[in-house]
Amino acid sequence: MGGNAGFPNSPTAASLMESNFGSPGNLEAVVRISRVLSSGTPEDFLVGYFFDSAALRWNGPFPIIADGQPISGVTGAPALIQSRFGKQGNFELLVPQGNRLVHYFRDNDAGGFPWHHVADLPVPAAGTMGGNAGIPNSPTAVSLMESNFGTPGNLEAVVRITPVLSTGTPQDFLVGYFFDSAARRWNGPFPIIVDGQPLSGVTG
């Protein structure tokens, strides 16, 4: 992936689940890999692994290629689940890429299990929650699940947003999204309000 040969790649975040492939079920992981380019600039990308539950061994890493392109420019922790979309159940991936939050899916009913881009989710506008109006907010971590709302089930996400304040000090907050499984589109972001107060000051 074009890294500097003098700097080893490092795994910096991972999302792990058990799928319905194999018996009792393979473990599936998506891992954020940090590399340093020859220019000294970091350029993180995603790879996949699976633990074969029959052979009891890990396989990978495999670069994650979506619509012919590697998933690179990753700037936050990804989230991976298996949904009830499709016959086998697709893999659903949300990942921060700069000031973008991007949804990909793996078609587990197609030969070769190809990954595809679904959508870029809108992030809260610059200036939200006291951020600097001139600097875009960035998603930095994601939690993803499939709920029992809708058929086969809406995807639900909670996302950590990192703004840059006028002072330069970040004051992270949480927002929610849902993927309407009937209309096949994302809705949000919605500020998460607890007892009348936005959930801010997030540090992990």
pLDDT tens column, 64-77: 999 999 999 999 99
Instruction: Write down the pLDDT at residue 37.
Output: 65
| C-alpha gyration radius of the chain | 18
The answer to whether 130 touches 163, Cβ cutoff 8 Å, is yes
- Give this prediction's pTM: 0.91
- Calpha distance 174→157 (Å, rounded): 10
Statement: residue 188 has pLDDT above 60: yes
- In this prediction, residues 109-134 reach a mean pLDDT of 89
Range of the domain at 176: 10-198
User: 204 in a domain, yes or no?
Assistant: no
Domain membership flag for residue 2: no
In a domain, residue 18? The reply is yes
Q: Per the domain annotation, does 160 fall within a domain? A: yes
Instruction: Kindly report the length of the chain.
Output: 204
Please, what is the end-to-end C-alpha distance for the chain in angstroms? Answer: 29
Which segment of 150-159, 163-172, 178-187 scores lowest on mean pLDDT?
A: 163-172
Token pair 């587990």: residue: 108
Residue 85 in domain: yes
* Residue 177 reports pLDDT greater than 90: yes
The three-point CA angle 84-88-94 to 5° equals: 55
Instruction: Determine, yes or no, domain membership for 203.
Output: no
- CATH of residue 171: 2.120.10.10
Domain count of the fold of the chain: 1
Taking the C-alpha atoms of residue 34 and residue 108, their distance in angstroms, rounded to an integer, is 27
Cα–Cα distance for residue pair 169/53, rounded to 1 Å: 46
| Residue 152 domain-assigned (yes or no) | yes
Helix (H, G, I), strand (E, B) or coil at 129: helix
